[in-house]
């Protein structure tokens, strides 16, 4: 069927209507401003960082101590360039939002310098990050009897993938890099189904088993040797507002988990004042909004299980069935 050119003639007017909406609904366009961090470059940086943290497991094969320095050096040099530019853009965006001014032009040099300083500070933290992530790998291996070796954890476990990106994003968050940590966290969320805000503080030997549907809020504090199962939510009980009805930010809204806590599938723990004491266990599907003492097991009362079977018409055959 041939195109109807009379319909094509309507396209310029439709285009004008769309462009007019950029003025009418100006809150969801980014026009005439300094560039935002580039999503593709941030994701590329994540992949390079994972290559540095887990060398030999991912893109580059046949690495050994004789050639790994060159490989890592190349990655670090590239990360320095990419992250410097992206952090500078994030800083520009933050300045524009907070000061309502457009910090482009000659001020770019200052943002670049600050971006590079932040990048170097972040890269200096990688050796310590590797030490902590090694404990997370060990925790997954120790905590899952189905796991055959630690290589399997690094290759296959979405929990480790999410925690790796989180620990990277959290370091950027701690040195006050805006915007980019959240971009990283949401990418990991999309990849793994695990949603960890970059502000959450998580101790060593952390293990998320299965993982899908886990949510960990911004102000969570999680101790050492903690284990979570799929569907666990560590969330806010409510969102306080000020006298104008606006959300109050920068307050603790999410729970604290002390050392060696285990929380089973689909449990929900809410509230900034909620503390789960060390060595406590929270059972599946539990809903908690108050603190739990150490060495406590919390479960919901088991419902009664009722089974009903259709009996055969032959009563003699029915005698062979036990219900």
DSSP string for 6-18: HHHTTHHHHHHHH
* DSSP result, 63-116: --TTTHHHHHHHHHHHHHHHHHHHHHHHHHHHHHHHHSS---GGGHHHHHHHHH
Q: Which residue has the higher pLDDT, 120 or 27?
A: 120
Buried b (16+ CB within 10 A) or exposed e, 233-244: bbbbbeeeeeee
Q: What is the pLDDT of residue 302?
A: 78
Per-residue pLDDT of 229-279, as tens digits, reads 999 999 998 777 777 777 777 789 999 999 999 999 999 999 999 999 999
Per-residue pLDDT of 169-219, as tens digits, reads 999 999 999 999 999 999 999 999 999 999 999 999 999 999 999 999 999
* DSSP result, 233-244: EEE-S---B-TT
Q: Cα(252)–Cα(292) distance, rounded to whole angstroms?
A: 18
Answer yes or no: are the C-beta atoms of 85 and 78 closer than 8 Å: no
Per-residue pLDDT of 91-119, as tens digits, reads 999 998 888 777 765 555 589 999 999 99
Banded model confidence at residue 323, pLDDT cuts 50, 70, 90 = very low
For the whole model, what pTM was predicted?
0.89
Tokens of 235: 């969330």
211: closest CA among 149, 169, 166, 179? Answer: 166
């Amino acid at each position: 069927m041939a195109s109807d050119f009379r319909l094509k003639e309507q396209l310029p007017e439709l285009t004008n209507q769309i462009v007019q909406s950029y003025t009418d609904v100006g809150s969801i366009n980014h026009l005439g401003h300094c560039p935002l961090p580039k999503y593709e470059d941030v994701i590329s940086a994540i992949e390079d960082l994972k290559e540095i943290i887990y060398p030999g497991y991912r893109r580059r094969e046949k690495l050994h101590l004789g050639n790994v320095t060159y490989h890592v050096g190349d990655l670090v040099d590239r990360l320095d360039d990419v992250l410097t530019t992206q952090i500078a853009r994030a800083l520009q965006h933050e300045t524009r939002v907070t000061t309502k001014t457009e910090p482009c032009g000659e001020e770019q040099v200052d943002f670049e310098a600050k971006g590079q300083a932040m990048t170097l500070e972040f890269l200096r933290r990688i050796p310590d990050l590797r030490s902590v992530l090694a404990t997370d790998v060990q925790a997954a291996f120790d905590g899952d009897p189905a796991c055959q070796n630690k290589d399997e954890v690094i290759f296959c476990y979405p929990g480790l993938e999410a925690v790796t990106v989180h620990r990277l994003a959290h370091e950027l968050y701690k040195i006050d890099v805006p915007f980019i940590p959240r971009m990283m966290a949401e990418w990991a969320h999309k990849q793994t189904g695990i949603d960890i805000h970059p502000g959450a503080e998580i101790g060593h030997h952390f293990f998320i088993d299965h993982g899908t549907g886990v949510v960990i809020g911004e102000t969570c504090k999680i101790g050492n040797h903690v284990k979570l199962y799929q569907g666990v939510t560590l969330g806010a009980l409510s969102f306080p507002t000020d006298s104008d009805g606006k959300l109050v930010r920068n307050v603790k809204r999410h729970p604290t988990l002390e050392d060696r806590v285990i929380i089973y599938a689909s449990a929900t723990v809410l509230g900034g004042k909620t503390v789960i004491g060390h060595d406590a266990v929270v059972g599946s599907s539990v809903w908690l909004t108050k603190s739990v003492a150490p060495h406590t097991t919390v479960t919901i009362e088991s419902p009664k299980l009722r089974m009903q079977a259709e009996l055969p018409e032959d009563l003699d055959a029915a005698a062979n069935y036990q219900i």
